[in-house]
Structure 1
Amino acid sequence: MSRPADVPGTVNAPPSTSDLFSLDGRTAIVTGASAGLGARFATVLAQAGATVFAAARRIDRLAELADSHPRIHPVACDVSREADRTRLTDTALTVTGRIDVLVNNAAVSGETRAADESPDAFADVLGVNLTAPFHLARLTAEAPLPTGATPGGGRSIINVSSILGLVSAAPLGGAAYAASKAGLIGLTRELAGQWGHAGTRVNALAPGWFRTEMTADLFGDERSARWVERNTLLRRGGHGHELDGALLFLASDASSYCTGQVLTVDGGWTAR
């Protein structure tokens, strides 16, 4: 009997344990990479062996990040602009000929109180946090599929959502931000359903309260910091490196049979 032809998503041989989280030879794009979790994500993927195109508006910050690792390449990009998004993926394809991993991390927070948020401001937040990830995911999925990119075939798209896409965190949060992060979860599941047959995996990462530039005011205020600690099962906020394992799992062959899922890393916040 003849051997069936390989098809996208077919695992022909399992990777060794030592290679399970390796990204050697692969290309990754990380948006919102100039600071905070995005900068950490770019560094972790580069350390795992990927060539990383780190995108953000603050090119000076990106240059500093690129100086820290030879496999990180800075790309000035405002994800709210369609032309910038197209240029970003074109740059990765021109330089390496492939896109294996997309991390849709760029986001803006918007107003905290719904009463203070105009419809135009609401739409602007969704434009950055939801429309841009959709377009970048489409551009990635439509790019030529590298032959033998992974033992599982295909590529990995990681949408960075939030626990605010799962539960309310009033009085913190924000209507537009919560809506955009919940929308990312719905988008993740739908794209996973539409693109799974081609070997493209789409998952969401939902962090809880992590100490970043965006949450500096939160953790800098004693009362709000205590509120986070009191409502988190581990009684503390998260540190950036505590997302490393989750990111590498979703980006690598370790999650070759995982798609359409939301991986929540929140110290137990949503388990209350």
Structure 2
Amino acid sequence: GVVAVARTEAQLKETAALDPAGRVIPLPADVADLDHADQLIASARGATGGPLDGIVHAAGTQYRAAAAAVPVAAWRDLMAIHLDAPFFLSTALHRDQLRDGRPGTHVFIGSLTSARGIANIAPYAAAKSALLGVIRTLAVEWAASGTRVNGIAPGYFRTELTADLFADPDRAAWVLDRVPMGRLGDPADLAGAVVFLLSPASGYITGQLLPVDGGWLAG
């Protein structure tokens, strides 16, 4: 089964509904509660009744403002969700996997802002760029144990985090003009990349950030 973690029951029900086969196991928790990272991993393990093979870090939030207008609270919130939580949850899981003597696969959701500057999202870009350093470092540190660590860099997707962006017709047109495939990404477009990086098909790949961007970086 797949353990889905979210703060609200509504989010968990929405995620579980995506799999009619009922393989999604809902687990309400706050991934930003770093003092209980080991406990969250233990709870996820208990929910599946066995060892955990991998993890996908998909929690996210956004704050759009000119850099000079970003408050300290917003900066810290973005760092907590996009950098601190993934790091400490993965290290907690790695300790658990080492106790089992089995390798794991860790997939982080990164960002194209690690490669290109985009205005008005400085906290997000800083957190995601730091996360790329985490991906590479963990990949090198954990390779000897057989554990692989990679990331996915989505392009422009229509999600809750971009709703305000695409509510502006001029901004939406600017984005689409720069995507060679001529459309926004759909969350389903990420599924193949996630499955690939979690599976043995990517068994000799680690420390990489895979763009899923409709050609945005290439354009």
Same fold (TM over 0.5): yes
**Structure 2 portions without partners, runs of 5+:** none
Question: Hey, what's the Cα distance between the residues in 1 that align with 2:82 and 2:11?
Answer: 21
2:74 is aligned with 1:121: yes
* Per-residue deviation, 1:77: 1.5
Kept after mapping to 2: 8 A contact 1:78/1:85: no
Q: Which residue of 1 aligns with 2:54?
A: 101
Kept after mapping to 1: 8 A contact 2:56/2:106: yes
Question: Hey, what's the Cα distance between the residues in 2 that align with 1:77 and 1:98?
Answer: 19
* Per-residue deviation, 1:120: 3.7
Matches within 5 A, 1:1-272: 51-69=1-19, 70-95=22-47, 96-144=49-97, 154-170=103-119, 172=120, 174-272=121-219
Kept after mapping to 2: 8 A contact 1:92/1:98: no
Question: Hey, what's the Cα distance between the residues in 2 that align with 1:68 and 1:120?
Answer: 34
What letter is aligned with 1:71?
R
Determine what percentage of the aligned residue pairs are the same residue: 38
Kept after mapping to 2: 8 A contact 1:165/1:180: no
What letter is aligned with 1:142?
R
* Per-residue deviation, 1:244: 1.6
How much is the aligned-residue C-alpha RMSD, in angstroms? 1.9
Question: Hey, what's the Cα distance between the residues in 2 that align with 1:142 and 1:258?
Answer: 21
Kept after mapping to 2: 8 A contact 1:189/1:202: yes
**Structure 1 portions without partners, runs of 5+:** 1-50
Scaled by the length of structure 2, the TM-score of the pair is 0.91
What letter is aligned with 2:118?
A
**SS of the residue aligned with 2:97?**
coil
| CA deviation map 1:17-44 (0-9, x unaligned) | xxxxxxxxxxxxxxxxxxxxxxxxxxxx
Kept after mapping to 2: 8 A contact 1:165/1:185: yes
* Per-residue deviation, 1:60: 2.2
Structure of greater Rg: 1
Kept after mapping to 2: 8 A contact 1:77/1:85: no
Kept after mapping to 2: 8 A contact 1:110/1:121: yes
Question: Hey, what's the Cα distance between the residues in 1 that align with 2:82 and 2:204?
Answer: 27
Kept after mapping to 1: 8 A contact 2:165/2:171: yes
Question: Hey, what's the Cα distance between the residues in 1 that align with 2:159 and 2:203?
Answer: 30
**SS of the residue aligned with 1:264?**
strand
Scaled by the length of structure 1, the TM-score of the pair is 0.74
Question: Hey, what's the Cα distance between the residues in 2 that align with 1:209 and 1:104?
Answer: 18
| CA deviation map 1:29-78 (0-9, x unaligned) | xxxxxxxxxxxxxxxxxxxxxx1111111222203432453111111111
Q: Which structure shows the higher helix fraction?
A: 2
Question: Hey, what's the Cα distance between the residues in 2 that align with 1:74 and 1:119?
Answer: 33
| CA deviation map 1:164-194 (0-9, x unaligned) | 2221122x5x111000011111100000000
